[in-house]
Structure 1
Amino acid sequence: MSIPRLAHVVRGKFDPLSLDQLSRNLREAVDDCSRVPLESLAEFPGAGLYALYYTGDHPIYAELRNKDVPVYVGKAEAGNSSYGDPPDEAKPALFDRIAGKHRMSISEASEPHGNLSVADFDVRVLPLDDVWIVLGERALLRAYAPVLWNTLMPGFGANPAGSARTNARSIWDSIHPGRPRAATLWCNRRFTRAEMEERILAGISIVLRDEDDPERESQLRRLRGLRANMIWSPAKKGAADRRSRVYRVEDFLAENAAFGRRIDDGDWVAAADLSEAQPDPEEVAEGNTLAAERDDA
């Protein structure tokens, strides 16, 4: 009887503290938590991770209905004192993030001006020590890539951008209008709403593929590599002409009109030279999150 070679039957050394194993454990811990209706989430102490799930009937999310796939994942840390004091675990940092910020945003994007409802969301919550929180958030981003509201629809969890005309409406605020913070902003700098929806649907089709499907990763790479055709940009710092540069005039006017924004002719000028365009902060933030979703990042 021949004895099989050891190299053929013994796997590599198992490291229970490897980043990959720890990430898997954190993801499974979140998935094992019960889903709670967002509108009835009661205050609780501590920091940790959370995942939001949409259960409503907005048509763009139709394929996610009855699927256990989050539309947004996030974290809240207890924080460290600059004097070396331990974090205050009694503070409701995680609850405040979910209810004080996100539940409020969804409420503002509800009828009559919006198309969401707090009643159409569930949340999973995993209290954690700060040391595990950043790793856990990245594990969730990787597991459910692309997480729609973190990557393809940025803006939901961001702080208000301000009301200057050089600030643009986020993708999230374009698809889900109603937040007062976006009322005075110009349209998105990179996408029309039709282009956003096409990109979102492509992302949903990817996230619903089996994790072992070889096409899943190749489609993710293609999606990450797509660059938008800039609609408009603020003037570069130091430019003599301070008017915003508009590269797709018809789309620029139509998108702003759809949001009820009247644009003065003296505030913009048609342009063709994209070298005059400033980097879009939303695109930079989106790229950082997409990088965090990659297994090799």
Structure 2
Amino acid sequence: MARAPDRVAMDGLAKALEAVRESLGEDPSPTVIRRVRTGLAEHAAALEQMRASTDPISTPRASFDPADPKAIGRMVSIALLAQERVPLEKVTPAYGSGVYAIYYEGDHPLYAAISKSETPIYVGKADPQDGDASNPREQGPKLTGRLIEHAGTIKTAEGYSNQLPPGLSPISLSDFTCRRLVCATNAQLVAEKHLISTFWPVWNSETKACWGMSKHGDSAGTRANKRSPWDVVHPGRQWALDTRLDNSLSPEQIAERIDATLQKYPPRKDHAALLEEMLAGFRQDDGAPKDELVPPVGEEASGPDPDEAGGEDDE
């Protein structure tokens, strides 16, 4: 007697899952593990949709949970976008930790596509000085401190403008604006992650395009290895000018990676449309959009090296 088609199909599904488990072997590489986890997550969503389709009672595709880290990340990100943009050079010390976004408004050829847009060139977080801080004063002046530090880094590169090698263009601090949001302790962690996966800012290390702006710096004798892409196209920091350092990427490679990033994630031009896009993450009928965790240039593209001059990016 022939078996029912549904039983045959379910057995096939069980065998396929077992084959996936066996494919991992004894010591799978991080790349294989990541690939399998991603694939399983996609199939899990499809399985849940199939299961729901057989249920006569409908189920919302998403349930709003204000304690869910992803929901917190989206809410804090929207709150950040509600803040006014102010000149980066005008930021003064104030209490509070949280998240921030830096925007470019100049005419540098690498950033022409995002200039004056709603896509930040860099996003980051500032952790509180006290991990148990319950108010901005207890958090300390960490958020503005980080922005002032970044302003100083850009100002240093601007001061080197008259010594730029042929083919490089200058940047000016006056061409940068920022938004900042003081938020509850630890909310900045999930918000930064959501902002990166939403915009893939070209200066963030996770984007693997032009990382290195947030390095603190040390002697090339400490890490006599490579110069970060940011210091390649925006030279000026003394420790990164050391002749013992090689470039992590060439200016041409950096430009290609920035272009690839902006082609996959075109700059947002309209603030209202961007807010609508962010709000879509809370719609229950359509389901929340996924946070894309693979950089636009691809998983296998080289990125920041722990031994890179200047140490690890402080984000």
**TM-score, normalization: structure 2?**
0.62
Is the contact between residue 174 and residue 188 of structure 1 (CA under 8 Å) also seen in structure 2?
no
1:168 aligns with 2:243: no
Aligned letter for 2:141? P
SS of structure 2 residue aligned to 1:137: helix
Q: What's the offset of the Cα at 1:17?
A: 2.0
Shift of 1:181: 2.1
Following superposition of structure 1 onto structure 2, how do residues 1-297 of structure 1 map, counting pairs within 5 Å?
7-8=57-58, 10-80=60-130, 88-89=137-138, 91-99=140-148, 101-110=149-158, 111-113=161-163, 115-145=170-200, 147-151=201-205, 152-164=209-221, 166-208=224-266, 220=295, 223-227=298-302, 281-282=307-308
**For residues 105 and 114 of structure 2, what CA distance do their matches in structure 1 show?**
8
CA RMSD of aligned residues (A): 3.5
Q: What does the per-residue CA deviation read over 1:138-181, in whole Å, with 9 as the maximum and x for residues that have no partner? A: 12111112x21112212100120322272321110001111222
2:293 and 2:73 map into 1 onto residues whose CA distance is 22
Q: 2 CA distance for matches of 1:71 and 1:221?
A: 15
Q: Which amino acid aligns with 1:65?
A: S
Structure 1: distance between partners of 2:86 and 2:190: 23
Amino acid at match of 1:93: K
**C-alpha deviations, 1:215-269, integer Å up to 9, x for none?**
x9699465232348xxxxxxxxxxxxxxxxxxxxxxxxxxxxxxxxxxxxxxxxx
Which structure has more relative contact order (CA 8 Å, sep 6+)? It is 2
Q: For 2:89, what is the secondary structure of its paired residue? A: helix
Over 3 Å counting, the alpha-carbon distance change for 1:12 and 1:106 in structure 2 is: closer
User: Displacement, 1:102?
Assistant: 0.6
Q: Name the residue aligned to 1:247.
A: none
Q: Could you say which structure has the larger radius of gyration?
A: 2
Give the Cα–Cα distance (whole angstroms) in 2 for the partners of residues 155 and 51 of structure 1: 16
1:77 & 1:105 partners in 2: Cα distance?
A: 20
- Post-superposition CA distance 1:181-239 (Å, at most 9, x none): 21214444542221121112111222217889x9x9699465232348xxxxxxxxxxx
TM-score (norm 1): 0.66
Taking structure 1 as reference, are residues 155 and 218 closer, same or farther at Cα in structure 2, changes over 3 Å only?
closer
Q: Percent identity?
A: 29
CA distance in 1, matches of 2:237, 2:252: 20
Q: Distance in 2 between the 1:36 and 1:190 partners?
A: 33
